[in-house]
Structure 1
Amino acid sequence: MRLAREKCRTRAGTAQQVANAVDPASIQALKDMGAHLQSLKRFQVSTELTGERVLADGQKLQHSATADLEVDRPNKLRARMFSARSEREIFYNGQMATLYTPAQRYYSTVAFTDTLAVLVTKLQEKYAVQVPLSDLFVWGTAAAPLDKIDSAMNAGQDFVGQDLCDHYAFRQGKIDWQVWITTGSKPLPRKIVITNRDDEARPQSVSLLDWNLKPTFTDAVFKFTPPKGATEVELRSLDKK
């Protein structure tokens, strides 16, 4: 019995070491995915998000949201986000970025002329505006946080819809995240799961991604025209007190 217990402890220790290791092939899979994402010039991607919030007594409640993005690299984007609580749209035509809230008919516009990777970072850092699926514009660039990954592993294969995917799991500080990437020479992320380990309840968010690599939209979708009755308001910077 003692020998059996020792074997169990040894196996558990080995599994822990593997879980905490950074597998180079898993990191390379992220690099390959990022390179492919950066090669996509014009595309549509939509996501269905299921998230969790935790009540004071530890009970978890789920909520859902959807987002649709039209993209023309390097500097055109339209994003629409919808949930039962809110709806908003982001327009970027390479010269101006506009945030619009249809329910209130408020819009804010700021001048901007950089790439989408820089746009999503600046909107978050300067205005606390989060672009859905913003990581899609960061992977494959120098800003991709590869050096911040504490552990990386290949968790096997699984289907997402009709697509066979390689499943990878990563640990980054207090965040665990998983990604399912389509197999083959055109790796696309099809599912992303994020777990917050900083909360003992470990709430998760699950995003399913659908891709259209042959879209038919025109550049008109990136131009914002204020609807009748809309009011322009200042997009206040976090730097302002």
Structure 2
Amino acid sequence: MSTKRPMLRGLSSACLVCALCAMGGLPAYSQQNSTANPNRTAAAKPSASQEEARAILMKMAEFLGNATAFSVNLRSGYDAVQPSGQKIEFGELRTITVSRPDRLRVESERSDGTRTLAVFNGKDITVVDSVNKVYATEPQTGDVDATLVHFVRDLHLRFPLAMLLTTRLPTEFEDRVRQVDYVEKTNIEGVPTHHLAARTDTVDFQVWVADGNKPYPVRVVLTYKDAPGQPQFWTQLSNWDFAPKLTDDTFTVKIPDGAQKIAFAAEIPTMPSTARRPPSAKGATK
């Protein structure tokens, strides 16, 4: 017996919706007040290590927010908490290319083999599910920031760590990150990094920031402390390129032969899975 899920759910899972807020949240999508809770006990004066950690985090945010173009590969895993309480990890590979103000390309492959392509070319959004041989497209204007909000809020597509792609990243960090600690200086796959541990109201996160004049994130781990089972999402970011070779084809979509055009959020059949992935949660925030 088959089950159904929203079209192109491979763009992430409901567990990963939280990642939008964990690193800041999408501004027009999240309804939370970004100011501090007046009832919260006043924090102690930050230690020198906390001040250093916040400075590194903000340097990373400003560097990413000001980049005119970049590409990066992501290898990710996320927990799906089963009814028994057992955690099952699923994975995903992504290649993301951004050219500001209004170009975005995201290639994804889930651990079950589902492959998707999402492209924003400044005029239209097109998403292709090559395994199910379906695609959807609709007009979209504005910049990448506005398009990411539209992806999640209006089209109900899942986009983990979308905030890392927006120009508002420094502002969102300032508003939402309550505490940052410096853990250690370490090395990840040959890259010297600063290991930071931070907290928001709903999510704890760790980020390893490359040392030097290009402070990009090398690894991110998110813990959803208010969710049942406290599931985690992690991603390894590699092959950062801040001067990618872009052509007209980069943001052009070739529709596969025989692919059927459908509406966004249409239901398509999928094979059942013994281990349950996180359920769809259209329009939800954590």
In the superposition, the TM-score normalised over structure 2's length comes to: 0.70
CA deviations on 1:120-176 (whole Å, 9 max, x unpaired) are 122111122123441222355575242122222111211111111111111112211
Shift of 1:179: 0.7
Is structure 2 residue 247 aligned with structure 1 residue 218?
yes
Q: 1:155 to 1:137 in 2, by over 3 A?
A: same
* Higher mean displacement: 175-184 or 129-138: 129-138
Q: 1:178 to 1:212 in 2, by over 3 A?
A: same
Which of the residues 64, 78, 95 maps onto 2:105? 78
Instruction: Indicate the SS of the match to 1:118.
Output: helix
Q: Distance in 1 between matches of 2:55 and 2:152?
A: 27
Q: Residue in 2 aligned with 1:106?
A: 134
Is structure 2 residue 91 aligned with structure 1 residue 37?
no
Which residue identity does 1:154 align to in structure 2?
Answer: Y
Aligned 8 A contact 1:181 1:188 in 2: yes
Q: 1:201 to 1:125 in 2, by over 3 A?
A: same
Instruction: Indicate the SS of the match to 2:172.
Output: coil
Q: Residue in 2 aligned with 1:172?
A: 200
Structure number with higher relative contact order (C-alpha < 8 Å, ≥ 6 residues apart): 2
Alignment RMSD, CA only?
2.8
Q: Residue in 2 aligned with 1:59?
A: 86
Shift of 1:219: 2.4
Aligned 8 A contact 1:81 1:132 in 2: no
Q: Residue in 2 aligned with 1:6?
A: none
Which residue identity does 1:94 align to in structure 2?
Answer: G
Shift of 1:216: 2.9
Q: Distance in 2 between matches of 1:77 and 1:226?
A: 17
Q: Residue in 1 aligned with 2:6?
A: none
Which residue identity does 1:178 align to in structure 2?
Answer: Q
CA deviations on 1:181-231 (whole Å, 9 max, x unpaired) are 111221100100001111353221110001123433422121123222122
Shift of 1:233: 1.3
Q: Distance in 1 between matches of 2:44 and 2:170?
A: 29
Q: Distance in 2 between matches of 1:142 and 1:165?
A: 20
Q: Distance in 2 between matches of 1:208 and 1:90?
A: 21
Aligned 8 A contact 1:138 1:144 in 2: no
Instruction: Indicate the SS of the match to 1:26.
Output: helix
Q: 1:114 to 1:150 in 2, by over 3 A?
A: same
Q: Distance in 2 between matches of 1:164 and 1:70?
A: 24
Moved over 6 A (4+): 16-19
Instruction: Indicate the SS of the match to 2:65.
Output: helix
**Structure 2 regions of 5+ residues with no counterpart?**
1-42, 267-281
* Higher mean displacement: 47-56 or 185-194: 47-56
Which of the residues 142, 151, 159 maps onto 2:179? 151
**Structure 1 regions of 5+ residues with no counterpart?**
1-15
Q: 1:18 to 1:178 in 2, by over 3 A?
A: farther
Is structure 2 residue 257 aligned with structure 1 residue 228?
yes
Aligned length: 224
Which of the residues 188, 200, 207 maps onto 2:235? 207
Which residue identity does 2:256 align to in structure 1?
Answer: P
Shift of 1:56: 2.1
Shift of 1:234: 1.6
Which of the residues 24, 27, 32 maps onto 2:54? 27
Which residue identity does 2:69 align to in structure 1?
Answer: R
Tell me which structure has the larger Cα radius of gyration.
1
Q: 1:131 to 1:199 in 2, by over 3 A?
A: closer
Which of the residues 183, 191, 197 maps onto 2:219? 191
